[in-house]
Structure 1
Amino acid sequence: MSCFEMRPMRAGEEEALLNLLEGAFGVRGIFQRYMDWDPLLRPEDTLLALDDQGPISCVQIFSRRIRLRGETVALGGIGSVATADAYRERGLASELMRHAIREMEQRGMALALLFTGLFDFYQRLGFRSVPQARRLLHRPHPPAEPALELSVRPFQQADLEAISALYESYSAAFEICTVRDASYWQGQLGYAGSPDEDFRLVERAGRVVAYARCIELEGARVAMEFARSESAAAELAALLLALTPEERPLVCPQAPDPELDQALAGTGARLETVADPSMLWRVLDRPSLARLAQLPAADDEELLAALVGGSRALYWPSDRF
């Protein structure tokens, strides 16, 4: 590898970073939204390789907290890994990734996570794929008569307190869900998915009892997140069905929610389960994770299978980076 400067990004270099990312991925807005809205993303969380003209390769570290075995665990998210075309195959991204791994370890992060299809590259850096199940929800044919009448409307900012309470109660029983405070919620509403997010909620007697958030992503209709109150499985099932296109499925996270599965089956909808291998995890703090898993002699793959690969593990797509 030729000798290039490698360091954290400095204030004022954001436009040069966006130019690099747009050149690598052909889009700019999604990266701009994270920089504008993520309250935890600082300039020094972007690691750069530079020549005498500016950035030529980059990696970003996103700070998250997740629930794991009844505790809150620091997670390092890896995103925006890019290298300018003229500088590829020189090991720049690999070297920046090694810097990022050391930085996350020094910050006390126990796990790293990224989303990719480039398995070989990241496996050489210690990442391992832990597939998460997805559900393809197909509308019934012929359409079934609605079992109940829904009061559905779009999300409004004034609904955030009720929505966040539903998220907390619904996700509390799952592993690896993101811990959110008010600042995180406000930021995530700004950057998650796309500006065309379809965010709807269901009310019963004037109270929000279910919600779902959907986007169009690479030609698919994707449910990024949903939640319900304890008695609203039927309402959530009906809402998800209403958000499902006529001629293609709604791609949903497989929430460990048997009552929702039963309610969806009762609509006549067809459910198809597929594995999504794109989540790659890396152990950063083995002693802490071994303690949580109660597996003191486990290797990294055994720890990941035990902690993030169980049937109750669910990382909502809305929390991606």
Structure 2
Amino acid sequence: MKRTLLASVCILALLCGFSQTTTNREFRLKISGHWDNPAIWEYKQGAAWVQATRPPNGEDSVVRLIASIGAEVKSSTTVPKLIVERNSILYISNGAFTLWGRGNSIEGDVILRQNGELKYKMNAHLEYLTITNTGRFFWTGGKLYTTVVNYGVSYFQTADPKTLYAMFINRSKLEVKDCIYTAANPSAYVQNSGNRSWLNYTNSTVNSVPGTVETQNIDGGLLTFNFNNKIDKLYNTGTIDGVGKVQLHSVRNSGSISPGWPFVKGILFPGAMEFISQNAPTGTFDLFLDGGDGEMLDSYISNHSIDLSTIRLTISNVRPIPESADTIILARSGTVSGD
């Protein structure tokens, strides 16, 4: 009996020792290659780095992608704390890439492709992925489940299928260009926040159940629209500018709207911005219309009646032209009224 008990204790000790030596390791990328290839990884043992015999997984301590090399994920995997260092690159091409750890950050590049998924453990959204001011995130397809906080540069691109399941918080630059994506639930919205944040939509569409997903431009953020765009709801306390048509469900606006092209080689070009909303816009806002350096004026257009008592209007740089007139505020359906 004593021998059996002693043998059991020894086996348990060996198993515990084996577990400690094979999990909870700090991994770093050694050479570029496929994520699940052990040959591209090394792990820290004491003060030394040694060749790995397996790829990292969620039970390890940290995974680092170091400068000038990259890895491509082609099948589902779990990862602990993820650090993508400056000038390194991570492709998520196929399968679910699931974050288990806290403090995940991108200083290099991460590209989420059509058949890939970026998730957090149990899809709880309790943690998030942080993109630093030197990092870039490219979303060209696939499913984005985890919350992202962007302090770097992010791009939503292509018409390939892509679905957003969690909030995307932009504190720096986010460009949504020639893009179609689906917002799966009311929590799957983009928030552009802070006076250094810039969110730009160019020829893009956000699909959702109408009236459920609200794009937010707040706390001094700049939101620009170019050409034809479609979103769901819009809440603005910052600044909106640009040109073209914006189709949407509803608008809550207590910020400002400044139609027109940005400065190009020091010249400001006037332009028209048209809001086509299912419900009449609400809120009192500032409207800035400019004549720029030409003979035209900016214009603000709505498909609903416009109450001028809700608009604080500023017009600048106007050059009077004899026997000419410009329409600067237009209600395509309904009337323009108020003082």
| RCO higher in structure (CA 8 A, sep ≥6) | 1
> Do they fold alike, i.e. is TM over 0.5?
no
Larger Rg: 2
Question: Which structure shows the higher strand fraction?
Answer: 2
TM-score bucket (shorter structure): under 0.3
